[in-house]
């Protein structure tokens, strides 16, 4: 067996990380282009025409209610990267800007999400971070590096659905053209949803059922925890993924919210390539976290859906107090140093004198929102369109 040199290892790691050989052009590759206001659709030899090619159209305004088409091309290719910056990066504005992406001439977008949430921010609250798919190096820009293949065409539209004027939108969309797409290339999709309130025991379904063959790429989730639950922990809910013919029970079932993103015993802020938490604020009861299934592929052949339980936990005495204050909750289990009591299998009243003094897990209700990312073998899906601005912006008003 031949020895592997350090250079060989570096090349192998680089190829595994970025999925390409840097010293070759892909088969059927024709040209690379960047669509921007300086050269809409990246037309060959047409860049920088205004102001004698001296920075004449680097940005454009976006009035309230106005839409702008940022890319509208025919043929085959792959969107490789998107970069944006705007001056108003408040959560309200980033939730109000609507981003839509269409493939192959479809009238229904494959991506229809709030701008800020699309770029990896649960709750559309911006922080500096870098992941394998998204980045914001100094808190002032929005980068996406997800490859997005198309066969017949691609269109990208942003709309200002806020009442406010946006004076300057900067962007570029990098793409390559191909003579023909790979036979097994899937279409990129993104879906946003919010569940401000619900009944107890109702999971937050962050990706409703999608039909077809594809791959679940990941999710970012934002939580406005109800402050009425006081010092209890909101994140005991398990992530569930229903693959193909799963009905009531999922194939993939996690062990807890922070466990899903690869941490443990609570959730603080951290940003890694494939998992992280951009917001963990105990004083405002706001949390935002993400998980990208890049090294760990989750594929499906005919259908897929995903949800997270709304479950929290706290000490016995605190939970008793919350119940006396008429908070919406239902105890489901008790964790002790040497045992675990399943209250739904063996019901027991928490106010009984002999109820164990341990960590009580309980169903609760909080305000959840999420952006799910996935690939599908069709350029559009049967998922619902983006809700109106009033449903996207602002916190739930707690009773």
- Is 373 inside any structural domain? yes
- Cα dihedral 334→335→337→340 (10° resolution): 80
Output the pLDDT for position 28: 72
Give residues with Cβ within 8 angstroms of 382, minimum separation 6. Answer: 210, 211
- Is 243 inside any structural domain? yes
Same domain for 169 and 250, yes or no, is no
Task: Flag whether pLDDT at 397 surpasses 70.
Answer: no
Query: What does the pLDDT average to over 295-315?
Result: 98
- Is 395 inside any structural domain? no
Task: Flag whether pLDDT at 10 surpasses 70.
Answer: no
Please report which confidence band the pLDDT of residue 29 belongs to, taking 50, 70 and 90 as the band edges: confident
Output the pLDDT for position 160: 98
Assess contact for 126 and 94: CB atoms under 8 A. yes
Average pLDDT, the chain: 93
Same domain for 170 and 267, yes or no, is no
- Is 324 inside any structural domain? no
35: closest CA among 65, 66, 89, 72? 72
pLDDT digits (tens, 9 = 90+) for 218-239: 999 999 999 999 989 999 999 9
Which residues partner with 91 through β-bridges? none
Q: What percentage of the chain carries pLDDT values higher than 90?
A: 85
Q: Identify the domain containing residue 133 by its residue range.
A: 25-185
Output the pLDDT for position 190: 98
Same domain for 133 and 228, yes or no, is no
pLDDT digits (tens, 9 = 90+) for 331-390: 999 999 999 999 999 999 999 999 999 999 999 999 999 999 999 999 999 999 999 999
Output the pLDDT for position 24: 79
- Is 200 inside any structural domain? yes
The residue that leads in pLDDT, 381 or 52, is 381
Output the pLDDT for position 53: 87
Same domain for 46 and 177, yes or no, is yes
Same domain for 220 and 171, yes or no, is no
Give the end of a domain, one of 161, 185, 209: 185
Query: What does the pLDDT average to over 113-121?
Result: 97
Output the pLDDT for position 75: 94
Same domain for 56 and 157, yes or no, is yes
Please report which confidence band the pLDDT of residue 13 belongs to, taking 50, 70 and 90 as the band edges: very low
Task: Flag whether pLDDT at 16 surpasses 60.
Answer: no
- What are the backbone angles phi and psi of residue 321, rounded to the nearest 5°? -65, -40
Output the pLDDT for position 30: 78
Same domain for 54 and 141, yes or no, is yes
Give the end of a domain, one of 185, 215, 236: 185
Please report which confidence band the pLDDT of residue 12 belongs to, taking 50, 70 and 90 as the band edges: very low
Output the pLDDT for position 149: 95
Q: The CATH number of the domain where 153 resides is what?
A: 2.60.120.1390
Same domain for 149 and 281, yes or no, is no
- Is 88 inside any structural domain? yes
Same domain for 195 and 111, yes or no, is no
Same domain for 92 and 193, yes or no, is no
Distance CA 316, CA 328 (A): 16
Output the pLDDT for position 19: 57
Task: Flag whether pLDDT at 9 surpasses 80.
Answer: no
Task: Flag whether pLDDT at 394 surpasses 50.
Answer: yes
Same domain for 83 and 176, yes or no, is yes
Q: What percentage of the chain carries pLDDT values higher than 70?
A: 94
- Is 394 inside any structural domain? no
Output the pLDDT for position 27: 74
Task: Flag whether pLDDT at 2 surpasses 70.
Answer: no
Give the end of a domain, one of 185, 216, 244: 185
Same domain for 281 and 172, yes or no, is no
59-62's contacts with Cβ under 8 Å and 24+ in sequence apart are 59/168, 59/169, 59/170, 60/168, 60/169, 61/165, 61/166, 61/167, 61/168, 61/169, 62/97, 62/158, 62/160, 62/165, 62/166, 62/169
Structural domains counted in the chain: 2
- Is 317 inside any structural domain? no
The residue that leads in pLDDT, 134 or 19, is 134
């Amino acid at each position: 067996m031949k020895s592997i040199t350090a250079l060989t290892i570096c090349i192998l790691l680089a190829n595994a990380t970025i999925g390409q050989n840097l010293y070759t052009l892909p088969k059927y590759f024709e040209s690379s282009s960047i669509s921007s206001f300086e050269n809409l659709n990246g037309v060959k030899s047409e860049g920088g025409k205004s102001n004698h090619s001296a920075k004449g159209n680097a940005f454009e305004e976006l009035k309230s209610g106005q839409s702008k088409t940022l890319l509208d091309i025919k043929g085959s290719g792959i969107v490789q990267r998107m970069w944006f910056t705007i001056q108003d990066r408040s959560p309200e504005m980033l939730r109000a800007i609507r981003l839509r992406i269409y493939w192959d001439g479809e009238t229904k977008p494959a991506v229809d999400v709030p701008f800020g949430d699309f770029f990896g921010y649960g709750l559309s609250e911006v922080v500096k971070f870098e992941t394998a798919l998204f980045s914001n190096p100094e808190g002032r820009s929005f980068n996406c590096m997800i490859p997005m293949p198309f066969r017949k065409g691609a269109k990208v539209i942003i709309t200002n659905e806020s009442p406010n004027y946006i004076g300057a939108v900067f962007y570029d969309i990098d793409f390559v053209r191909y003579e023909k797409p790979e036979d097994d290339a899937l279409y990129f999709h993104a879906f946003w949803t919010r569940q401000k309130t619900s009944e107890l025991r109702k999971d937050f379904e962050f990706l409703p059922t999608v039909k077809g063959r594809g791959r679940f790429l990941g999710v970012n989730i934002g939580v406005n925890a109800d402050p009425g639950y006081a010092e209890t922990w909101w994140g005991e809910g398990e992530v569930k993924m229903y693959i193909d013919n799963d009905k009531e029970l999922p194939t993939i079932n996690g062990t807890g919210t922070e466990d899903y993103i690869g941490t443990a015993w609570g959730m603080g802020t951290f940003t890694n390539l494939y998992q992280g938490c951009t917001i963990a604020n105990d004083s405002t009861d706001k949390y935002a976290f993400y998980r990208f299934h890049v090294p760990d592929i989750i594929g499906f052949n005919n259908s897929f859906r995903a949800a997270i339980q709304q479950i929290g936990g706290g000490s016995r005495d605190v939970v008793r107090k919350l119940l006396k204050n008429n908070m919406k909750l239902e105890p489901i289990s008790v964790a002790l140093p040497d045992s675990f009591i399943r209250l739904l299998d063996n019901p027991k009243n928490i106010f009984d004198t002999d109820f164990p003094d341990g960590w009580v897990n309980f169903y609760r209700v909080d305000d959840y929102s999420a952006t799910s990312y996935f690939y599908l073998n069709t350029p559009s899906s049967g998922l619902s369109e983006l809700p109106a601005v009033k449903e996207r912006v602002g916190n739930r008003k707690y009773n």
